Amino acid sequence: MNQELQMSTYFHDGVELSITSAENDWKLQERQVDSMIQANVSLIVLAPIASKKLVPVVDRAMAAGIPVLIFDRELDSDNYTAYIGADNEEIGNELGRFIVNHCDGKANIVEISGQALSSPAIQRHEGLMKAVKSYPDIHVTTSIPNLWTVESGYRAMDSLIHLGITNIDYVFAHNDRLALGAYNALCAHHLSDSVKICGIDGLPGPEGGIDMVDNGSMLATSLYPTKGNIIMQLALNILDGKPFKKENTLKSGLITKANTSVMKLQIEALNEEQQQIQLLNSKIVDDIQRAAREKFIYTNIILGLALIILFLIYQFRVHSLKQSRETLNRLVIQGTVDSINQNGAAVATDSKDDSSPAATVPVTEVSPLDNNPSDTFANSLRAAIMRNYSDSEFNVDSLATELNLSRAQLYRKTKNLCGQSPVELLRDIRLQQAVHLLSTTDKTVSEIAYNVGFSAPAYFSKCYKDRYGQSPREKK
């Protein structure tokens, strides 16, 4: 899914994708989302580790005006922008019905459940129990590991065997990694030949669900679709104000020995296509670094590729040239951020009242806005920021409202104008004002941080050092 999301960015201008992992720790995931809120990102895509525990941080993101797209795992709340994922209860039920038909209604099943607080574990268990509830001769023993890993599956199965539960006909594992762990434990106790294992995910590659079914380690697995490209398109529809559905269900399917060959052929073809696209993207990036203003020659790349690859080359070329122009626009001469006279010359006003940050003389560092003194939007944008930059509550949403634009429109117009996102531009102007105050006043670093619109002095110091290579205390 991560690979599919990353590849989707190749087809859309202005998309910056950052992926984090909480390593099955919901508290770490909460802190990560809070940091995204602090950074004022455009949209958050979240797979909640714990459906109830993550509700407050999602509420905070929504209150901050940041859309939240929930995927894979559900949230125990309706306060989110959209959800996309497979029907986990139906997956559990379909796999349960498969076992019922395979055993003719008589079996001892060991269920290796997923993480206790996660919605997939809860719903897959419910689906299995609905499938077997009408069969009194089917008995289910459930074990709940801490994680979704091979090691957790091994420990769960090994513990049950040591407790004397050895009369096992089927293992219903909540994912293929747990299934592999259970299989390894059964092998260690010489029970693997008599037990049939079913898993969920159906991923390709060594020790993936498809190979395990193909080599006989598992009886069946249920395909859980990744569809990172569809997730990306849904996210962009939300940001661009296009119509979208709040609830979006991805289709799954059962994989048995009968269809693994077809699945492998399809996956092999898809992998080859992805490798070609990734290789093509790498070559284009290399060409840009070597000659940003020269025409790029793609003859050797184009040869042998299908018409779809030719189309991709064109899209990548347009994107690359646009990025080069934006980079060059940032190389500007010294000027001021405060105002520009009718001839385009920089002017500055002097103020003796240090208590009003908005009235301070800007520093000699230039804002990218000053490249466009005759541009109406640039003037409106500059004026709106200079009126409000000292207000810590003033953010991108406030700026968009003041300019009567949507968040997506503001992003595109600002990026095209000066090569920066609205968040970057607002932060840079605040830092430029801070440089001036540090040089011309006796105010403390904390006072200056608040005067230029930062709500936390520590965060101000970090941004300042990232921008200028020294702490504000060193500047004073």
Distance between CA atoms of residues 102 and 138, nearest Å: 12
pLDDT of residue 277: 64
- Judged by phi (left if over 0) then psi (alpha if -120 to 50, else beta), residue 24 lies in left
- Whether pLDDT at 333 is above 60: no
pLDDT of residue 437: 92
pLDDT of residue 313: 85
Q: Give residues with Cβ within 8 angstroms of 239, minimum separation 6.
A: 42, 43, 67, 407, 408
Distance between CA atoms of residues 252 and 85, nearest Å: 10
- Whether pLDDT at 227 is above 60: yes
* Residue in the structure block whose two tokens are 């702490």: 471
Average pLDDT rounded to a whole number, residues 372-390: 84
Average pLDDT rounded to a whole number, residues 2-24: 86
For the chain, domains (ranges, CATH) are: 2-85+227-248 (3.40.50.2300), 88-223 (3.40.50.2300), 270-328 (no CATH), 339-475 (1.10.10.60)
pLDDT of residue 285: 58
pLDDT tens-digit map of 14-52: 899 999 999 889 999 999 999 999 999 999 999 998 889
Ranked by mean pLDDT, the top range of 141-145, 193-197, 354-358 is: 193-197
Residue 288: Cβ within 10 Å count? 19
Q: Specify which residues 248 forms β-bridges with.
A: 84
- Whether pLDDT at 59 is above 80: yes
pLDDT of residue 327: 46
- Whether pLDDT at 339 is above 60: no
Q: Specify which residues 142 forms β-bridges with.
A: 111
Distance of CA 354 to the CA centre of its chain: 42
pLDDT tens-digit map of 360-374: 334 445 555 655 555
- Whether pLDDT at 342 is above 80: no
Distance between CA atoms of residues 288 and 323, nearest Å: 9
Distance of CA 195 to the CA centre of its chain: 39
Provide the mean pLDDT of the chain: 83
Contact present, 98 and 138 (Cβ < 8 Å): no
Distance between CA atoms of residues 22 and 11, nearest Å: 28
Region of poorest pLDDT, from 93-102, 127-136, 282-291, 464-473: 282-291
Average pLDDT rounded to a whole number, residues 209-217: 92
pLDDT of residue 474: 82
| DSSP character at residue 367 | P
Q: Give residues with Cβ within 8 angstroms of 32, minimum separation 6.
A: 20, 22
Ranked by mean pLDDT, the top range of 260-269, 301-310, 442-451 is: 442-451
- Whether pLDDT at 356 is above 60: no
Contact present, 276 and 305 (Cβ < 8 Å): yes
